[in-house]
A and B are shown apart, each in its own frame.
Chain A
Amino acid sequence: MPDSIQMRVTRYTPGDSAPTVADYDVPLRQDWSVLDGLNHIKDNLDGSLSYRWSCRMGICGSCGMNVQGTPKLTCGTFLSDYAPGPVRVEPLTNFPIVRDLVVDIDDFMEKLPKVKPWIVRNDEAGALIDREYLQTPEELEEYKQFSNCINCMLCYAACPVYGLDEDFIGPAAIALAERYDLDTRDRGRRERLDVLIEREGVWGCTFVGECTRVCPKHVDPAGAIQRYKLEAAKESVMAVLLPRGAL
C-alpha cells in the first residue's frame, strides 16, 4: 500500500461562478476513513475547507458526501478502498451547495413533517395512561428496519427522480411514513396516504431502487414506495366504486 493518497475535493464559496476542485495528498492508513482524510486536510493543510461531521460512527447522519461518484457516509468509507487513488470527494448530488461539501437540505426538512412522522391516535386525549401499549417482537419487526433511517440524505442524492423533480417527496420521507403506518400503535395510515397519493407522493418514483442500494442502514425505501403504490392503486379503484366518505 502506498503511504499517501490524493483526495480531489470540491471547493465552493458563495459568489464563485462555479465549484472548483482542489487536490490534497493525505496519509493512507489502513484504518483511516475518508472523513479522517478530510480532518487531516482541515487540521494540517487547509483550515478553510468546510464539511459537516459529528459522531464518526455512522449514526448521526451528518457526513454524507459523494465519494468517487457514489453517495456515502464518509466516516464509514475507507481511503484504502480507493488506493492508489486519487479519490474524488464531492457534495451530495441533487442538493444546492452551501459551501464546499456542505449542502442545503431545507427541502427535506420541509417535506418530512408532511408525512406526519409521529404516532397519530386520538383515544389518548393527552392523558398519560400508566402502562405501555403492547407490541410483540414480531410486530416490532414489521416496521423496525424503516425506523433505522438516520436522515443522512444519501437516498435523495442517489435518486434520479428527485434529481429531475424536486417536488417528489423522496425516499426517506416515504420510508418514515411507512415506519409509522406499520407500527401497531399508530392510527394515521389514512392521513398519510392522502399526502402520498398526490402526484408528488409515491407516483413520482419510477422504481430505480438506488435509494435502497445506497442506504447505509439497510432501510428499504424502494420497498416502502412499492407498497404505497399498491395501496394507492387499490384506493383509486375503490374511489370509483364508492363515494369517498364511505371508506
Chain B
Amino acid sequence: MSEGAAAAHDVLLVGGGAAGLRAAIAIAETNPALSVAVISKVYPMRSHTVSAEGGAAGAMAADDTLDEHAYDTVSGGDWLGDQDAIETFVQEAPRELLQLEHWGCPWSRQPNGRIAVRAFGGMKKMRTWFAADKTGFHMLHTLFQTSLKYADLRRYDEWFVTRLLVDDGRVHGVVAIELRTGRIETITAKAVVLCTGGGGKVFPYTTNANICTGDGMALAYRAGAPLKDMEFVQYHPTGLPFTGILITEATRAEGGWLLNKDGYRYLQDYDLGKPEPTPVLRSMELGPRDRLSQAFVHEVEKGRTIESPYGPVVHLDLRHLGAKLIDTKLPMVRELCLKYERIDPVKELIPVRPVVHYMMGGVSTDINGATPIEGLFAAGETACVSINGANRLGSNSLPECLVFGARAGNAAAEYASSAKPAPSVVLRQNDDEERRISQLLATDGGTEQIADIREAVQSTMEDSAGIFRSGDSLAKGIDQLAESRQRLASLKLADRTRAFNTELVAALELANLLDIAETILHSAISREESRGAHQRTDFTTRDDENFLNHALAYRDADGSPRIERLPVTITRWPPGERVYGR
C-alpha cells in the first residue's frame, strides 16, 4: 500500500457539508478540467449542516442594506470580526442564497411567490431566508443533489482523514482510513480544503452531532497552521436539557418568549430592552446569543430558574403563537418537543437551557480561505476568516459556508492549476500513519476507556471554560487536560478488527477533541478581558487597548499551544458600544 498514492487529485475537499459541497460545485463549474474529490467520514447528506434550523441571512429586501447587515455582524461580534471579510461576506451572501434558490432549495415564500424572510437575533432588519425550520437540511440536500450533476466529481464517502501530508510548508494531500475495509491510503492533491465543521463535542451539552469533533482544526493545527480565536465558543440559549437538541432561534423570531420560574420575561433585567407583546428587532428575545446565555446564568444565581433532572432550565413559551403558525413555520420544533420532551409547544412550555452550539474560532484563513500552509485552505465552521468575531449572529453561519466555501474552492482551484505534483518523499508519511494506527489497534495492557476520557475532557471544559471563565478555572482546566492526555496514552481498545471499526475512529476523534480543547483554554487564559462569548469574571470589561486582536494558537514542538496575536482589521466601524433594546 505504501508504494504510491491510491489516488491523485487536483483539489481535495475534506468534508461534505455545505462548505465542502459548495466548494466542490464551484470548482466543477469554473474549472471542469480539474480532478476534484470530496472525502468525508460520513455520507455528505449526514453532515451536520443538516441540523441547522432557523435560516440564512442575506440582505436583499428593499428596506435593507449591506451596510446594516455588516454593522449588525460587526457589533454582534463585539468588534472582533475582520471588517474587510464582513463586507465581502454581506455582499456575496444574497447572491449565494439566490444561487441555492436556482438549484432548487425550497425556500419559504411570500404569497406573491417572492422569497420570505424572518427576523433573527441581533439583526436590525428581517433578512433571514428560511425553509420552514429545516433550513440546513434543505440547503444540504439541495447542494448534495446538485453535486450529483457532476459525474466527474469523485467522492470518498466514509473515509476518515488522519493526517495532512505536508512537506516544506506545502500540503500535498492526506492519509485516510477507508472505514469499510480499514485500509489506510494516501490520496494526494495539489490543494486541500478543510470543511469539516465545528467541534462542539468537546463540551458535554451541545446541539452538535456526534461527528462534530474538530477534525479539520486538529489536522491543520498538527500540521503547523494556527487556530484563531478558539476561546470564543457560542452557547445557544435554547437547547433541550437532556439531549442538547437545538430549539431554533426562529421560535423567538416568530414571537416566542423566555420566562423564568415566575413566568417573568427576565431578559428585561439585562439591558436588552422592554418586553413588548410582539417581537422587536435587536431587542429582548431577539438579542444576541452571548447576552442571552449570560442572562440565563444570572437567573440561576438569583434562584429564578426551574430545577429539572438535568439541571436548571428556563421556559420558552410559544403557546400564544397558535398551532397554525407553529405548524407552518416551526414544524420541526413541535415534532422534536413531542418526541424528545413529550410536550406539545402549542399548549405547554418548553424547558430550555444554554448549550454549546458553535465555535467562532477555527483554522486561521484569509478572505479566500487560504491558510499559512501553501495549498491548504479552510471554509465554514472549521475556518476562522473571521466574520463572526467574538459572537456569531444566528443565520450568518449557513451563508458563511456558501460564500467562503465558494471562495475557498475557487482559490484552491486556481492554486492547483499551477502547483506541481507531490514529491515522492511525502508518500513515506503513509507508512508512519500505518504504523501509528496499527500500534493503536494492537496495544495490549491499556487500561483507559474512550468514554471515560471523553467525559473527563467534556466536564473539564464545562467547568473551566463555560459561559463565564476565570484565570483560576482556566488554569485548573489546563492541568486537568494534561491528565486526560496522559490517560489517552494508555487507551484500551476492545475492537481489533479493521472493518468499520468505529472504536478506532472514536479514539482518533478523541485525540482531535483534546487538541482543540487545549487551544480553547490556552487562548482563553491569554485573553484578559471580557468580549462577546468570552466572559472573564476576573476581567469583566472589554479592553480594546490590549485585546482588539485575534489569538493565534500554534502547536509548539512539545505539543502545547503557543499564543500569538494578530490585529483586527477595521474598515468603517470603529469600536463602539453594543446596544440592544434601547
Interfacial residues, chain A to chain B (CB-CB below 8 A): 13-14, 31, 42-44, 46-48, 50-62, 76, 98-100, 102, 104-105, 109, 112-113, 116-119, 124, 126, 128-137, 139-140, 143-144, 147-151, 176, 180, 183, 185-186
Q: Establish whether residues A144 and B106, one from each chain, have CB atoms under 8 Å apart when the complex forms.
A: yes
CA distance A93 to B502 in the complex (A): 21
Which listed residue (A13, A118, A137, A147) contacts B111, Cβ 8 A? A137
Q: Establish whether residues A147 and B106, one from each chain, have CB atoms under 8 Å apart when the complex forms.
A: yes
Give the interface segment out of B42-50, B164-172, B408-416. Answer: B42-50
CA distance A112 to B151 in the complex (A): 12
Q: Establish whether residues A54 and B108, one from each chain, have CB atoms under 8 Å apart when the complex forms.
A: no
CA distance A126 to B103 in the complex (A): 11
Do A132 and B98 contact each other (CB < 8 Å), given the known contacts A76-B339, A102-B500, A118-B145?
yes
Chain A residues whose CB sits within 8 angstroms of the CB of B499 once the complex forms: 13-14, 98-99
Which listed residue (A57, A130, A137) contacts B243, Cβ 8 A? A57
Contact sample, A vs B, 23 pairs, CB 8 Å cutoff = A14-B497, A57-B243, A59-B332, A62-B42, A76-B339, A102-B500, A104-B180, A113-B151, A117-B145, A118-B149, A119-B146, A129-B102, A132-B107, A132-B114, A136-B109, A137-B110, A139-B113, A150-B50, A150-B137, A151-B141, A176-B145, A185-B102, A186-B104
Chain A residues whose CB sits within 8 angstroms of the CB of B115 once the complex forms: 132
B493 contacts chain A at the CB level, 8 A cutoff: yes
Q: Establish whether residues B148 and A140, one from each chain, have CB atoms under 8 Å apart when the complex forms.
A: no
Do A119 and B104 contact each other (CB < 8 Å), given the known contacts A57-B243, A134-B114?
yes
Chain B residues whose CB sits within 8 angstroms of the CB of A44 once the complex forms: 451
Do A140 and B493 contact each other (CB < 8 Å), given the known contacts A59-B51, A99-B499?
no
In the complex, residue of chain B having the shortest beta-carbon distance to the beta carbon of A117? B145
Q: Establish whether residues A60 and B104, one from each chain, have CB atoms under 8 Å apart when the complex forms.
A: no
Most chain A Cβ neighbours within 10 Å, of B134, B450, B502 = B502
User: 0/1 per residue, B109-132, Cβ < 8 Å to A?
Assistant: 111111100000000000000000
B340 contacts chain A at the CB level, 8 A cutoff: yes
B209 contacts chain A at the CB level, 8 A cutoff: yes
B494 contacts chain A at the CB level, 8 A cutoff: yes
User: 0/1 per residue, B163-206, Cβ < 8 Å to A?
Assistant: 00000000000000000100000000000000000000000000
CA distance A199 to B141 in the complex (A): 28
Q: Establish whether residues B141 and A147, one from each chain, have CB atoms under 8 Å apart when the complex forms.
A: yes
In the complex, residue of chain B having the shortest beta-carbon distance to the beta carbon of A128? B99
Q: Establish whether residues B245 and A48, one from each chain, have CB atoms under 8 Å apart when the complex forms.
A: no
Q: Establish whether residues B494 and A137, one from each chain, have CB atoms under 8 Å apart when the complex forms.
A: no
Most chain B Cβ neighbours within 10 Å, of A54, A112, A136, A176 = A54
Which listed residue (B48, B112, B246) contacts A54, Cβ 8 A? B48
Chain A residues whose CB sits within 8 angstroms of the CB of B145 once the complex forms: 112, 117-118, 176
Q: Establish whether residues A48 and B112, one from each chain, have CB atoms under 8 Å apart when the complex forms.
A: no
CA distance A132 to B106 in the complex (A): 12
B67 contacts chain A at the CB level, 8 A cutoff: no
Interface residues of B in 49-71 (CB under 8 A from A): 50-51
Q: Establish whether residues B500 and A109, one from each chain, have CB atoms under 8 Å apart when the complex forms.
A: no
CA distance A5 to B317 in the complex (A): 35
Chain A residues whose CB sits within 8 angstroms of the CB of B47 once the complex forms: 60
CA distance A151 to B107 in the complex (A): 20
Q: How far apart are B551's CB and chain A's nearest CB, in angstroms?
A: 30
B271 contacts chain A at the CB level, 8 A cutoff: no
Chain A residues whose CB sits within 8 angstroms of the CB of B137 once the complex forms: 59, 150
B434 contacts chain A at the CB level, 8 A cutoff: no
Q: Establish whether residues A60 and B46, one from each chain, have CB atoms under 8 Å apart when the complex forms.
A: yes
Most chain A Cβ neighbours within 10 Å, of B157, B180, B340, B500 = B500
Chain B residues whose CB sits within 8 angstroms of the CB of A76 once the complex forms: 339
B543 contacts chain A at the CB level, 8 A cutoff: no
CA distance A50 to B29 in the complex (A): 38
CA distance A51 to B495 in the complex (A): 13
Chain A residues whose CB sits within 8 angstroms of the CB of B494 once the complex forms: 46-48
Chain B residues whose CB sits within 8 angstroms of the CB of A133 once the complex forms: 101-102
Q: Establish whether residues A136 and B149, one from each chain, have CB atoms under 8 Å apart when the complex forms.
A: no
B270 contacts chain A at the CB level, 8 A cutoff: no
Do A55 and B51 contact each other (CB < 8 Å), given the known contacts A118-B104, A126-B29?
yes
Q: Establish whether residues A43 and B209, one from each chain, have CB atoms under 8 Å apart when the complex forms.
A: no
Most chain A Cβ neighbours within 10 Å, of B47, B141, B242 = B141
CA distance A10 to B55 in the complex (A): 40
Q: How far apart are B51's CB and chain A's nearest CB, in angstroms?
A: 5
B484 contacts chain A at the CB level, 8 A cutoff: no
Chain B residues whose CB sits within 8 angstroms of the CB of A185 once the complex forms: 102, 104
Which listed residue (B113, B151, B451, B502) contacts A51, Cβ 8 A? B502
Do A31 and B340 contact each other (CB < 8 Å), given the known contacts A46-B494, A119-B104?
yes
In the complex, residue of chain B having the shortest beta-carbon distance to the beta carbon of A186? B104
Q: How far apart are A3's CB and chain B's nearest CB, in angstroms?
A: 15
User: 0/1 per residue, B131-149, Cβ < 8 Å to A?
Assistant: 0001001100100011011
Chain B residues whose CB sits within 8 angstroms of the CB of A109 once the complex forms: 43, 157
Q: Establish whether residues B112 and A60, one from each chain, have CB atoms under 8 Å apart when the complex forms.
A: no
Q: Establish whether residues A98 and B104, one from each chain, have CB atoms under 8 Å apart when the complex forms.
A: no
Chain B residues whose CB sits within 8 angstroms of the CB of A186 once the complex forms: 104
In the complex, residue of chain B having the shortest beta-carbon distance to the beta carbon of A44? B451
Q: Establish whether residues A128 and B106, one from each chain, have CB atoms under 8 Å apart when the complex forms.
A: no
In the complex, residue of chain A having the shortest beta-carbon distance to the beta carbon of B29? A126
Q: Establish whether residues A59 and B210, one from each chain, have CB atoms under 8 Å apart when the complex forms.
A: no
Most chain B Cβ neighbours within 10 Å, of A62, A126, A130 = A62
Do A57 and B51 contact each other (CB < 8 Å), given the known contacts A147-B138, A151-B45?
yes
Q: Establish whether residues A60 and B109, one from each chain, have CB atoms under 8 Å apart when the complex forms.
A: no
Chain A residues whose CB sits within 8 angstroms of the CB of B242 once the complex forms: 31
Chain A residues whose CB sits within 8 angstroms of the CB of B246 once the complex forms: 57
B35 contacts chain A at the CB level, 8 A cutoff: no
Q: Establish whether residues A99 and B450, one from each chain, have CB atoms under 8 Å apart when the complex forms.
A: no
CA distance A98 to B498 in the complex (A): 11
User: 0/1 per residue, B464-495, Cβ < 8 Å to A?
Assistant: 00000000000000000000000000000111
Q: Establish whether residues B101 and A132, one from each chain, have CB atoms under 8 Å apart when the complex forms.
A: yes
